[in-house]
Chains A and B, each alone.
Chain A
C-alpha cells in the first residue's frame, strides 16, 4: 500500500471558543449544534404531541364538542406539519447527522461550520412562525395544504408558508454541507466501502435534502404569492389547477419521507452489529440500496394523487415504481434480520428499540405496498388506513429509530449512561401503547372512517375510544424518557469512551468528545464491523482498543 497522506484540510486544531455565547449559543461546533437541534426538536415534539392528544380527546366520542371543527382542522394540520418539519427531519439530520457523522468519518467538523450554525438558527424562528399561526388562524388543510382551501381559508397559512420555507432553506444548506463533508473530509484510508452505514445513510439523505427541498421552497413561495397577490397558479377558475400544487408538493414530499427514514435506517445499521458483536450482513447491499431508494423516490410521487383525477395511463407506472421502491428497503430488512440471526444478542435498550423499529416499520412498509395498488388506494385514500400506515412508518420507523439512537449515543454525547431498567420499561410501554393506538386504525380505515374529521359515525365509537386511551398511555410513556434523561445527568453511571464495545470512530474518543474531536486524525485500514479482528485504525490509544474488545454492557 502506498504511503497514506496524513495532512488533511482541517488537520490543524484551532483555538477553543471562548465565552458562553460563542460556546453554547452561536457555536460553530457541530456537536453543540446537534444538541441545540435535539433540544429544539424535543420541545416541538412535546408541542406537536400535545396537539395529537388533543385530537384524540376530541375523537373519544363520535359527536364530541371539545374542539369545534375549525380548531380541530388547525390541530391536525399543525400536528402534522410540526412533526414532519420541526421534529423528525431536524432530529435525524440536524441532530444525529451533526453529532455522529463527522465523528464517524474522522473529521474535526463539517465542511462549512458557519453555514451549519445558520441552518440551526433558521429553525427556532420557523417553529415560532408555525405555532404562531394559531394567533391568526392556523392552516386548516392538513400538512399537505391543498388549494383551494389553503388559498382561501386561514390567514395563518401564509405564516405556515414562511415557516416551512425557512425550514426548507435550513434543510437545503444542511444537505449541501453534509454531502460535501462526506465526499471531501473523510479520514485518510476511509474509502466509500469502509464508511460506517450511518454515514452512507447521511450522504444519501443529504443528497435528497438539497435536491428535493428546493422544489418545496418554490411550491410554498408560489402558494404565498397566490394568497397575497392573487396570481392564478392553483386557481381553476382562472386557468390554474389545484392538481399543479399536488404535483409540486408531492415531488418534494415523497423524497421527504425518505429523508425522514434513511437516517433511522443508518442508526439501526450501527446498533445491530454492536449488540451482536458480528459483522453486519450485506454491508454493500445496505449501502447501495440506500442509493437505489433515493433515486427511485423521485419517481413515485403521484401515488399520493391516485384519487385526483389523473389519467389511468399515468397511474400505472407510478403504481409499478412504488412497488419497486419497496424492494431495496426489503433488502435492508432482510440484511438486518440476517445480521441478528443465530447471534448472541445483547438485549440492551438500544437494541430493543431496534427490534421495535424492525417490527413496526416492516408492518408499515407492507401496508405501503398495499396502498401502492391503485384500486386498493382508491378505496383507502383519505381514510384512517393511511393514518395508520403513515404512523407505522414515521413513528414506528423514524421515532423508534430516534429513540434507539438516543439510548445508544447518549453516553457519547453526555458522558453518562441512561438507566437501563427505565429504558426497558419505556420501550415496552411505548411499543405496546403504539400498537394499541395505531393498529386499530387499519380496520377503521377499511371500514370507511375518513381521516381529518372531528366527528364520526357512532359505529366507530368503541374503537376510537380504545385508540384514544392507548394514545394517552403512549404520550405518558415519553415522560419516562424525559425523567431518565434528567436523572442521568446527575445519577447516571459515568460512561467511558466505549461502553457498548463498538468499533466505529466516534467510540475511539472520550465521552463527551473534546471540541477538536480527535487529537490526531485516525488512519483507517479497513471497514468498521469486523468484530474479532484487530481495530482497523492506526495510532489509536491502547485504552480505546481494550474498550472496544470488552464492552461494559
Chain B
C-alpha cells in the first residue's frame, strides 16, 4: 500500500485510509478480547484461591514495576510527539521521538525480563496459579510490546525511505494506535497484579 498510496488521488486515498483504519481498530478490539479472556481467567483463579498469593510466592516488587510503567507510559507520550512531528512535517522531531519511543519500549521489555529473572524466577510459572496467570498475562503483554517495537522500527525505516508524507502516513497511524493500545493494557495489568 505504501508507495501505491502516493499514486491515488486525494479522495480515493481518504477512502482507503478509512477502510484500513476501521479494520485496524477492529483488530485492536479483538486483541482486547484476547487480554480480557486471560484477565478473566486470572480473576477467576484468584477468587477461587483460599489465600492470595499462594503460599511460597511473594508478590512482585511494585516499585520496580512502577518505574517500568513510567518508562512505558513515557514512551506513549514520545510516540504522540513523534506523530505530531510527522503531521507538521518536522522530520527531525519525528525521527528523534520515534527513536526515543523505541528505546523506551526496549527498556520496558528489559525491565520485565530483569524482573522475571531476579525478582520472581520464571521457574515459578508452572508452580502455582499465581505464576500461571502472572507470567502468561505479562508474557503475552511483553510479546505484544516486542512486536510493537519491531513495528516501530519498520515504520522508522519506511520513513527514512520516503514512504510517508505529512498527509499520507497510515502505517504510522496504525503503529501509534497499536503502541497506545499496548500501553493501556499495561495500565490494566499493573493495577491488577501489583496494586489490587
A222 with B30: in contact, given A112-B23, A239-B48, A239-B128 (CB under 8 Å)?
no
A238 with B16: in contact, given A214-B37, A248-B40, A248-B41 (CB under 8 Å)?
no
Query: How would residues 88 to 130 of chain B score, 1 for a CB under 8 Å from any chain A CB and 0 otherwise?
Result: 0000000000000000000000000000000000000111110
Asked if A219 and B23 make an inter-chain contact with CB atoms under 8 angstroms apart, the answer reads: no
Asked if B41 and A215 make an inter-chain contact with CB atoms under 8 angstroms apart, the answer reads: no
Asked if A215 and B33 make an inter-chain contact with CB atoms under 8 angstroms apart, the answer reads: yes
**Segment among A53-61, A178-186, A431-439 that sits at the interface with chain B:** A178-186
Asked if B18 and A232 make an inter-chain contact with CB atoms under 8 angstroms apart, the answer reads: no
Asked if B38 and A9 make an inter-chain contact with CB atoms under 8 angstroms apart, the answer reads: no
Query: Which residues on the A side are within 8 Å of B131 (C-beta)?
Result: 231
Asked if A229 and B26 make an inter-chain contact with CB atoms under 8 angstroms apart, the answer reads: no
- B12-50: which residues lie under 8 A (CB-CB) from chain A? 12, 15-16, 18-19, 22-23, 26-27, 29-31, 33-34, 36-38, 40-41, 44-45, 48-49
A487 to chain B: closest CB distance in Å? 42
Query: Which residues on the A side are within 8 Å of B40 (C-beta)?
Result: 247-248
Cβ-defined partner of A9 (8 Å) among B12, B23, B136:
B12
Secondary structure at chain B's binding surface: helix, strand, loop or mixed?
A: helix
Query: Which residues on the B side are within 8 Å of A238 (C-beta)?
Result: 127-129
A229 with B125: in contact, given A184-B18, A241-B48, A244-B45 (CB under 8 Å)?
yes
Interface check A413, CB cutoff 8 A: no
Query: Which residues on the A side are within 8 Å of B127 (C-beta)?
Result: 238
Residue of B whose beta carbon sits closest to that of A212: B33
Interface check B71, CB cutoff 8 A: no
Query: Which residues on the A side are within 8 Å of B22 (C-beta)?
Result: 180, 183-184
Q: How far is the CA of A112 from the CA of B27 in the complex (A)?
A: 13
A379 to chain B: closest CB distance in Å? 28
Asked if A217 and B132 make an inter-chain contact with CB atoms under 8 angstroms apart, the answer reads: no
A211 with B30: in contact, given A111-B19, A185-B19, A218-B37 (CB under 8 Å)?
yes
Q: How far is the CA of A232 from the CA of B126 in the complex (A)?
A: 6
Query: Which residues on the A side are within 8 Å of B74 (C-beta)?
Result: none
Query: Which residues on the B side are within 8 Å of A230 (C-beta)?
Result: 126
Residue of B whose beta carbon sits closest to that of A219: B37
Q: How far is the CA of A258 from the CA of B38 in the complex (A)?
A: 23
B116 to chain A: closest CB distance in Å? 15
A221 to chain B: closest CB distance in Å? 9
A-B contact pairs, 23 of them (CB 8 A): A9-B16, A9-B19, A112-B23, A176-B23, A180-B22, A180-B26, A183-B22, A184-B15, A212-B33, A214-B31, A214-B33, A214-B37, A218-B38, A222-B136, A225-B136, A231-B126, A233-B133, A239-B129, A240-B45, A244-B45, A247-B40, A247-B44, A248-B37
